[in-house]
Amino acid sequence: MEYVIEMLNIRKVFGNFVANDNITLQVKKGEIHALLGENGAGKSTLMNVLFGLYQPDGGEIRVKGQKVNITDPNVANDLGIGMVHQHFMLVDTFTVTENIILGSEPTKGGTIDIKRAEREVRELSERYGLAVDPTAKIADISVGMQQRVEILKTLYRGADILIFDEPTAVLTPQEIHELIQIMKKLVKEGKSIILITHKLKEIMEVCDRVTVIRRGKGIATLNVSETNPNELAALMVGREVQFKTEKKPAQPGKPVLEIKDLVVKDARGVTTVNHLDLTVHAGEIVGIAGVDGNGQTELIEALTGLIKAESGTILLNGRDITNLPPRKIIEAGVGHIPQDRHKHGLVLDFPIGENMALQTYYKRPYSKRGILNFKAIYEKARQLIAEFDVRTPDEYTKARALSGGNQQKAIIGREVDRNPDLLIAVQPTRGLDVGAIEFIHKRLIEQRDQGKAVLLVSFELDEVMNVSDRIAVIYEGKIVAIVDPKETTEQELGLLMAGSKRKEAGVSS
Amino acid sequence: MNLNRLNQFFVPVLAVLLGMIVGSIVMIVSGYNPIAGYSALIYGAFGDPYYIGETIRQTTPYILSGLAVAFAFRTGLFNIGVEGQLIVGWLVAVWVGVSFDLPKVIHLPLAILAAALAGALWALIPGILKAYLKVHEVIITIMMNYIALHVTNAIIRSVLSDEGFKSQPIHESASLRSDFLDAITYHSTMHYGIIIAVIGAVIMWFLLEKTTKGFELRAVGFNQHASQYAGMNVRTNIVLAMVISGAFAGVAGAMEGLGTFGNISTKAGFTGIGFDGIAVALIGGNNAFGILLSALLFGALKVGALEMPSSAGVPTELVDIIIALIIFFVASSYIIRLLLSRLQKGAE
Amino acid sequence: GCGGQGGNNAGNKDTFSVAMVTDVGGIDDKSFNQSAWEGLQKFGKDNNLKKGRGGYDYLQSSSDADYATNLNKLVRSDFDLIYGIGYLMGDAIKEVAKQNPKKHFAIVDTVVNEPNVASITFKENEGSFLVGVVAGLTTKTNKIGFIGGMEIPLIEKFESGFRAGVKAVNPKAKVEVQYAGAFDQADKGKAIASSMYASGIDVIYHAAGATGNGLFSEAKDLKKKDPNREIWVIGVDKDQAPEGMVKVKGKTYNVTLTSMVKRVDVAVYDVAKRAKDGDFPGGKTLEYGLPENGVGIAPTQDNIKPEVLKAVDQWKQKIIKGEVKVPTNRKELQQFEASLK
Amino acid sequence: MSIYEVLQIIVPSAIFFAAPLIFTALGGVFSERSGVVNIGLEGLMIIGAFVSVVFNLTFADQFGAFTPWLALLAAMIVGAVFSLLHAVASVSFRADQVVSGVAINFLALGLTLFLVKKMYGKGQTDQIQVGFDKIDVPVLSHIPVIGPLFFSNAYIPSYLAIILAFVAWYIIYKTPFGLRLRAVGEHPMAADTMGINVTKMRYIAVMISGALGGIGGGVYATIISRDFSHATISGHGFMALAAMIFGKWHPIGAMGAALFFGLAQSLSIVGQTIPFLKNVPTVYLLIAPYVLTILALAGFIGRAEAPKSLGTPYIKGKR
Ligand SMILES: Nc1ncnc2c1ncn2[C@@H]1O[C@H](COP(=O)(O)OP(=O)(O)OP(=O)(O)O)[C@@H](O)[C@H]1O
Ligand SMILES: Nc1ncnc2c1ncn2[C@@H]1O[C@H](COP(=O)(O)OP(=O)(O)OP(=O)(O)O)[C@@H](O)[C@H]1O
Ligand SMILES: [Mg+2]
Ligand SMILES: [Mg+2]
């Protein structure tokens, strides 16, 4: 009995759309098996079939050699299959423990035995090195810890086949590193893992074998040791992909954004941006590197007028925009690609075309004397959809129905088209496949080359190193170092982000 | 696409039919003759010009209260306070109608605008509390209904009449009634308010679908965060949405004050028009055109029902049952759609 | 231009038909609608009429907006005499009467000045005065309560007459007056009653429709808890003795001291009869007071002490003779109270 | 009157006033905690009031003093069954939950009045003869100060309502059922992946709300109105809805809010007898409870967070 999981010729159809077209996936016991594919290739669908959330329209599933019929997640649980979903399945208002025990609660006389549950969670977390605070509320903990809670959920149920659907998309480099260690530990315990990720580096680092799918079809299954990132990318996208985005040297011009001595408090009143100074010039991309929670969110919100700065000034082209209302700041020439595209970027129930006019709807030609000109709005939308390769049936389709990558492209199109002097991009490629990432990076560089200032905030060191002309390291609300990406290493950046002082390059602005 | 459009029209029609069918089952089970019942209902609603006039009169405030509820819904708010806003609108319309002596071209519009303003002001309070303190608008509007009722009664008693129970009749110059309508509908209480109600529907459609402000209001209704990111002022938009909704409700009150009744009496309880407006809005899909139809349906059912006890011996309550069934079927349109698509597939 | 050939003097036809429109309460509201319907039914029986078109009938309204519609329906069904029951229907009657000058209408509880409308009103103040006398002479605590539905002139009439009656026989007694603000909120009625009885009040009179249900419920519950406690309710409109029945350990008590009855049935019957006989009192206001037997004290009087009944009778005679003028509003009440001193 | 005497009047009447609202609002808490908006509480109360009165009138002779209890049981069962309509429409048929709730309100009123006409040939029932008795709780009512306030002249169902609030709190926050219920209301898909049957949980929750709404209506009719007519339940369900939101979807909070309404109501009644308020026009006292509520909400209660997925039907596989 070689395979713990065999998904043979799995077919899944949504309406007229074939999401999984006779895909076969075989996972060996004790291996980490990567599942690779573009956005929308059908990876999550396949895994949801395995986990019992979807019923396949064809094919068969075998677990440890037995043919099984996984009608719902309960069956999957019983078969020892656990899944860490792409979008976290955690109840925000519950504690870590409550989330973990949900559905199989230990009881004592009809009451949940919370003490016992917490003890069990603690033991489990110690055993696998998954540090969590069992009594903390999900809403209060970091994304990395949330991820660990997800893993603990599966382990708590005794799963020995674990599915990780894009676990690293939302993690910081440190957290990714920790996760990799955890996965290695889990396989050592005899568990098998299916890992979905867009990051080829991760596949190369931890996986034993990889199955590539494209547009719902299985393309190949390879031994990781016998392949390389370029081959994988080509298999997955169907063409050659450039990882290192080509770019000319920057030609910085006059300062566009000048932040001086900025202090911002978060919603709880804690000072998270602490006397921060930073300048971004025309024609350069400044990347902000830092561990999540070091003031990035508040910095961006203050820059865009969503929260008030306590003190300090923000100048745009020499003009003071500190604490102006968002619209004034937008009109002054700031574009913003927000971190959470669903919450902040789009009105999901509006057509994608109208979403593209979300900031300009009140201006000519989209609006005349208070009346909207839908012709102009949709004309513009069509142009942007074509220009930014947004894949959508038409411009009248609700934004909700687009895939994440395409939603992101629409937002970028919208922001870039307004021709802002400063473009703030926060995690612009989160969760996107290599093809889409390439596209977006090109666009950012294009902006720079047109003489715009770009401020990039990302937890992906790769991205920051690749795209930025200068990297500003943020730590505890301050810019602690400015480094040149060509002259630094990931290790050095990692140390700076962790707060260790750099000797040569002192704090500059 | 085309099929979808067709379904959009068919589903409510089917819901109404299904409601009627189940209603007739209820009648049969309880020993009434459904044919006689429905004949009476239809006769009582459209049987001759008089009944048509009454149906239209009843439809008029329903359109406006439906618009009020729908406007709030479309902008992300649940306005249960239409009833209260309607009552204050009624009061103020009558107050203007009684206290001024002006040419009709000024007096009538003034009275209607005053009612709109009163409804708007009444809605301003929950609007502000929602926007600035995040207090749930449902509770506040429920409370504001009761306050409206009691305050209005007190004002009628002490200001609009001398310690009596009703106001003076409004001056002719503020009235929506006309001899012409009276003559062609055999003395029904129909009045020109229907024109205002239809204009109201057009305004709502235009405001929401065509104007810049409407775009903002809808955006804020769907996603406050994204709207704020896009530079919209979320708070003012919430307040504005509530206020516009209240203005529609106020005008609905003016229809009663300037049209149907021509005065205002102290009220022993709510008029029900505001609450029925919730159903009207929902059956009409929160869309201006749909509301015109659903208000007509409502008006016809309510007025036609009055004919059922005397002509067919069927209690009027049966109509409430039918209305409820229709609402259920409209609400469950997902199932109807599913059935329709099965049928269409089968036919292919 | 509406239907039917009817409209000449109704008295000349061989069958006389009559109908009424109720307000939202319906013909079994245990109040004036029910009473009016009883009058019509009696009239129908006495004249061998059938229920329905051409005989006697009623329509119930489900909102204020239905009054005119329902009245018109009856006009179009060609009834000879059409009643509007309740003061709220005044405007509608006025309008429909104007539109149908050849038809006969009657309105209960308010006055409509049209030549083809007979207005029926009651001297509720006189009946209330009598139960005020009962209350004033029955109370042991000298604390008496009055619960009104809404603060409108009609209910004020009840209040003023009642207070006058109490004061006339028991100057030391205090009357606590509360208005519930509605005729259909039993919970409020109960809460008010509860606070009144708790504060030592032992007799409560109500003119509050279904709000009064709460009063009965509270009184009965208190009685049940302590059968020896003397607490009373005075009913309104109809004989409310059945509402006051309470059984405690096999023994039956009744908390209804008595009721102030308003004989809408008598008046309705009366006007119908006159109309049938060709003597329709169009344009007139008929006031039914004590002499006309239009108001009075309910037949169930078991709980009233004989000497109190005697006093009631004396006051009744005084009122009938015109020796006492019973106030109809608070202003007149003040004058009345002043005149007692 | 001394303050204590005033309290002695206010407190018991606040409690009986609040009892039907507490039951119903607790029902609302269950339903909405599971993610199903229940604006049909009014209708559920109507059903409960109707059933309890009809049961009482029909069976009072057979069951004697047990009648009101059995009537409440009947109201509870019928309320639960009736609420199935809401569950089917809003959970299985994915209906807009507000629409379905509005339909419940219409249907309840229409159906019960229709049945009353059918059964009794008139628009309202007779008065019931067997109700709940006012009691002084043994022992407790003798506690000085507190006894007369909280344990005298009260009805057993009022205490049940208060006890039930604590029971509901226990169920919702301490048992597996409660954890699952809340999970379903916050994040149904997460619950689904944990093997919890979202549909089943929501059906159960809606039916609990029907049962409690039925009891609420039954208690109202049995203790307060004693008969059933079109006006018996007029807005009480909406007040219960308000109490639920006011109480932040928390059982104890909902109970507190209902008691607050009761207190405000009886304060405004007793206010009319307090000498220095004597000359205040009645209207101020009539609106006082509602104004007080608004002030309380605006002033110190602050915002309430509804369960996250409240109002959205759960469709498997949809994000
Ligand atoms: N519930 C659904 N209904 C209809 N179509 C769906 C549904 N779920 C997925 N799809 C379709 O199936 C395709 C595959 O989706 P899936 O989520 O499996 O992609 P994926 O490979 O996980 O992409 P990503 O890398 O972005 O996570 C999507 O492009 C979409 O068109
Ligand atoms: N329930 C559904 N009904 C219809 N289409 C769906 C459904 N769920 C998903 N989809 C489709 O799935 C696609 C998005 O799926 P996919 O998971 O691939 O997006 P994604 O790129 O992973 O998004 P994200 O970055 O937000 O995770 C869209 O094309 C959408 O139409
Ligand atoms: Mg996926
Ligand atoms: Mg994705």
> Is residue A505 over pLDDT 70?
no
| Tokens (6 digits) for B169 | 């009749």
Say yes or no: CB of residue A396 within 6 Å of ligand 1: no
- The verdict on residue B37 lying in a domain is no
For residue D133, the chain C residues in CB contact (below 8 A) are: 221, 224-225
How many angstroms separate the CA atoms of D268 and D279, rounded?
A: 13
Which residue's C-alpha comes closest to atom 3 of ligand 1? A14
Q: How many CB atoms lie within 10 A of CB B163?
A: 13
> Is residue B342 over pLDDT 90?
no
The least confident of A325-329, B213-217, C139-143, D265-269 is D265-269
Say yes or no: CB of residue A362 within 6 Å of ligand 1: no
- The domain A255-343+419-497 belongs to what CATH superfamily? P-loop containing nucleotide triphosphate hydrolases (3.40.50.300)
pLDDT band at B5 (very low <50, low <70, confident <90, very high): low
pLDDT band at D96 (very low <50, low <70, confident <90, very high): confident
| Tokens (6 digits) for A105 | 């609660």
| Tokens (6 digits) for A295 | 């003031």
- The verdict on residue D309 lying in a domain is no
Residue among D152, D195, D165, D160 nearest D30 (CA) = D165
Contact call for residues A35 and A195 (beta carbons, < 8 A): yes
pLDDT digit string (tens) for C177-220? 999 988 888 889 999 999 899 889 999 999 998 899 999 999 99
Phi, psi (deg, nearest 5) at residue C299: -65, -30
Choose between C52 and B151: higher pLDDT. Answer: B151
For residue B135, the chain D residues in CB contact (below 8 A) are: 297-298, 301-303
Whether the CB of B202 is below 8 Å from some CB of chain A: the reply is: no
Beta-carbon separation of A336 and B218 below 8 A: no
Say yes or no: CB of residue D318 within 6 Å of ligand 2: yes
pLDDT band at C117 (very low <50, low <70, confident <90, very high): very high
Distance D83 CA to ligand 1 centre (A): 36
Distance A495 CA to ligand 4 centre (A): 30
Secondary structure element (H or E) that encloses residue A102, with its range: none
Query: For strand C143-148 and strand C203-207, is the pairing parallel, antiparallel, or unpaired?
Result: parallel
Of D94, D95, D283, which is closest to B151 when you measure between CB atoms? D283
Between CA C322 and CA C325, with CA C323 as vertex, the angle to 5 degrees is 70
**Domain count within chain D:** 1
Contact call for residues C67 and C3 (beta carbons, < 8 A): no
Q: Could you give the 3-state DSSP secondary structure of residue A13?
A: strand
Residue A103 zone, left/alpha/beta (φ > 0; ψ -120 to 50; rest) = left
pLDDT band at C13 (very low <50, low <70, confident <90, very high): low
Q: What is the mean pLDDT of residues B260-288?
A: 91
D173, D178, D179, D182: CA torsion to nearest 10: -100
Contact call for residues A202 and A38 (beta carbons, < 8 A): no
Say yes or no: CB of residue D302 within 6 Å of ligand 1: no
- The verdict on residue B315 lying in a domain is no
Q: Which CATH architecture has domain A3-237?
A: 3-Layer(aba) Sandwich (3.40)
Supply the pLDDT for residue D73: 97
CA A346 remoteness from chain centre = 16
Domain that holds residue D154: 3-298
Q: Could you tell me what percent of chain A has a pLDDT over 90? A: 59
Residue among B291, B271, B242, B239 nearest B90 (CA) = B271
The DSSP symbol for A28 reads: E
Mutate to test the pocket of ligand 2, among A12, A45, A403, A434 (most ligand atoms within 8 A of CB): A403
Q: Give chain A's largest Cα–Cα span.
A: 74
pLDDT digit string (tens) for A212-236? 998 889 998 999 999 888 888 888 8
Supply the pLDDT for residue A39: 81
Window 300-329 of B, Cβ < 8 Å to D: 315, 317-325, 327-328
The least confident of A344-353, C250-259, D68-77, D281-290 is D281-290
Which residue's C-alpha comes closest to atom 12 of ligand 1? A19
pLDDT band at A323 (very low <50, low <70, confident <90, very high): very high
Secondary structure element (H or E) that encloses residue B236, with its range: helix B234-254
- The verdict on residue D19 lying in a domain is yes
Supply the pLDDT for residue D72: 97
Supply the pLDDT for residue B250: 98
Supply the pLDDT for residue A503: 47
Query: For strand C18-22 and strand C56-60, is the pairing parallel, antiparallel, or unpaired?
Result: parallel
Q: What is the mean pLDDT of residues A395-399?
A: 93
Q: What is the mean pLDDT of residues D120-137?
A: 86
- The verdict on residue B202 lying in a domain is yes
Contact call for residues C278 and C242 (beta carbons, < 8 A): no
Beta-carbon separation of D234 and C184 below 8 A: yes
Residue among C148, C150, C160, C146 nearest C88 (CA) = C150
Q: What is the mean pLDDT of residues B217-228?
A: 94
Q: Could you give the 3-state DSSP secondary structure of residue A109?
A: coil
Q: Could you tell me what percent of chain B has a pLDDT over 90? A: 73
Beta strands of chain B (E only): which ranges? none
Secondary structure element (H or E) that encloses residue A337, with its range: strand A334-337
| Tokens (6 digits) for C128 | 């209330």
Secondary structure element (H or E) that encloses residue A472, with its range: strand A470-475
Say yes or no: CB of residue A37 within 6 Å of ligand 2: no
pLDDT digit string (tens) for B8-19? 677 788 888 999
Whether the CB of B227 is below 8 Å from some CB of chain A: the reply is: yes
How many angstroms separate the CA atoms of C41 and C250, rounded?
A: 37
pLDDT band at A502 (very low <50, low <70, confident <90, very high): low
In this complex, whether A and C touch, counting 3 or more CB pairs under 8 angstroms, is no
The DSSP symbol for A485 reads: G
> Is residue B343 over pLDDT 80?
no
Which residue's C-alpha comes closest to atom 8 of ligand 2? D318
Q: What is the mean pLDDT of residues B281-286?
A: 89
pLDDT band at D164 (very low <50, low <70, confident <90, very high): very high
Beta-carbon separation of D272 and C210 below 8 A: no
**Domain count within chain B:** 1
> Is residue A275 over pLDDT 90?
yes
> Is residue D314 over pLDDT 60?
yes
Contact call for residues A245 and A255 (beta carbons, < 8 A): no
Beta-carbon separation of D291 and B147 below 8 A: yes
Nearest residue of chain A to residue D316 (CA atoms):
A53
Q: What is the mean pLDDT of residues A108-137?
A: 92
Secondary structure element (H or E) that encloses residue D12, with its range: helix D3-33
Atom of ligand 2 nearest to the CA of A430: 25
Distance A403 CA to ligand 4 centre (A): 8
pLDDT digit string (tens) for D36-77? 999 999 999 999 999 999 999 999 999 988 999 999 999 999
Q: What is the mean pLDDT of residues D299-312?
A: 77
| Tokens (6 digits) for A494 | 């990692």
Of D110, D235, D297, which is closest to B139 when you measure between CB atoms? D297
Beta-carbon separation of A344 and B229 below 8 A: yes
Phi, psi (deg, nearest 5) at residue A68: -130, 160
Q: Could you give the 3-state DSSP secondary structure of residue C215?
A: helix
Suggest the residue from D5, D6, D11, D13 to mutate for an interface test with chain C (most C CBs closer than 10 A).
D13
Q: Give chain D's largest Cα–Cα span.
A: 65
How many angstroms separate the CA atoms of B178 and B192, rounded?
A: 8
> Is residue B162 over pLDDT 80?
no
pLDDT digit string (tens) for A12-70? 998 888 889 999 999 999 999 999 988 888 898 999 999 998 999 999 999 998 999 99
ipTM of this predicted structure = 0.89
pLDDT band at C3 (very low <50, low <70, confident <90, very high): very low
Q: Could you tell me what percent of chain D has a pLDDT over 90? A: 59
Average pLDDT, chain C: 90
- The verdict on residue D256 lying in a domain is yes
- The verdict on residue D87 lying in a domain is yes
Beta strands of chain D (E only): which ranges? 134-135, 154-155
How many angstroms separate the CA atoms of A347 and C273, rounded?
A: 72
How many angstroms separate the CA atoms of C232 and B207, rounded?
A: 61
Distance A388 CA to ligand 2 centre (A): 19
Supply the pLDDT for residue D300: 65
Distance A192 CA to ligand 1 centre (A): 24
Suggest the residue from D45, D128, D134 to mutate for an interface test with chain C (most C CBs closer than 10 A).
D134
Contact call for residues C153 and C122 (beta carbons, < 8 A): no
Beta-carbon separation of B231 and A345 below 8 A: no
Supply the pLDDT for residue D74: 97
Query: How near does any CA of chain B get to the CA of A304, in Å?
Result: 8
pLDDT digit string (tens) for A136-175? 999 888 888 888 999 999 999 989 999 999 888 777 777 8
Q: Could you give the 3-state DSSP secondary structure of residue A53?
A: coil
Same fold? A3-237, A255-343+419-497: yes
Q: How many CB atoms lie within 10 A of CB A229?
A: 15
Whether the CB of B146 is below 8 Å from some CB of chain D: the reply is: yes
Residues in a beta bridge with A316: A257, A319
- In this structure, which amino acid lies at residue A469? D
Size of chain D, expressed as the number of residues it contains: 319
- The verdict on residue B80 lying in a domain is yes
- The verdict on residue B153 lying in a domain is yes
pLDDT digit string (tens) for C276-316? 999 999 999 999 999 998 999 999 888 999 999 999 999 99
- The verdict on residue D126 lying in a domain is yes
- The verdict on residue B168 lying in a domain is yes
Domain that holds residue B99: 67-288
Distance B243 CA to ligand 2 centre (A): 38
pLDDT digit string (tens) for A411-462? 999 999 999 999 999 999 887 888 888 888 999 999 999 999 999 998 888 8
Beta-carbon separation of B270 and D113 below 8 A: no
Beta-carbon separation of D124 and C187 below 8 A: no
Closest ligand to A429 CA? 2
Residue among C102, C45, C50 nearest C78 (CA) = C102
In this complex, whether A and D touch, counting 3 or more CB pairs under 8 angstroms, is yes
Q: Tell me the helix, strand and coil percentages in chain D, rounded to 5.
A: 75, 0, 25
Supply the pLDDT for residue B337: 78
Supply the pLDDT for residue A404: 81
Which residue's C-alpha comes closest to atom 3 of ligand 2? D318
Q: CATH code at D73?
A: 1.10.3470
Q: What is the mean pLDDT of residues B264-287?
A: 91
Residues in a beta bridge with A255: A281
Contact call for residues B266 and B287 (beta carbons, < 8 A): no
- The verdict on residue B22 lying in a domain is no
Say yes or no: CB of residue A295 within 6 Å of ligand 1: no
Supply the pLDDT for residue A215: 87
Whether the CB of B224 is below 8 Å from some CB of chain D: the reply is: no
Supply the pLDDT for residue D64: 86
pLDDT band at C9 (very low <50, low <70, confident <90, very high): very low
> Is residue A507 over pLDDT 70?
no
How many angstroms separate the CA atoms of B133 and C227, rounded?
A: 52
Supply the pLDDT for residue C30: 79
Beta-carbon separation of D117 and B317 below 8 A: yes
Residue ranges per structural domain of chain A: 3-237, 255-343+419-497
Residue D183 zone, left/alpha/beta (φ > 0; ψ -120 to 50; rest) = alpha
Say yes or no: CB of residue A44 within 6 Å of ligand 2: yes
CA C27 remoteness from chain centre = 14
Q: How far is CA A500 from CA A497, C13, D124, D156, in A?
A: 7, 111, 82, 69
> Is residue D232 over pLDDT 70?
yes
> Is residue A240 over pLDDT 80?
no
Q: What is the mean pLDDT of residues A122-142?
A: 89
Q: What is the mean pLDDT of residues A3-18?
A: 90
pLDDT digit string (tens) for A66-117? 999 999 888 999 999 999 987 889 999 999 999 999 988 999 988 999 999 9
Supply the pLDDT for residue D139: 82
How many angstroms separate the CA atoms of A365 and B255, rounded?
A: 39
- In this structure, which amino acid lies at residue A433? D
Supply the pLDDT for residue A201: 86
How many angstroms separate the CA atoms of B184 and B189, rounded?
A: 11
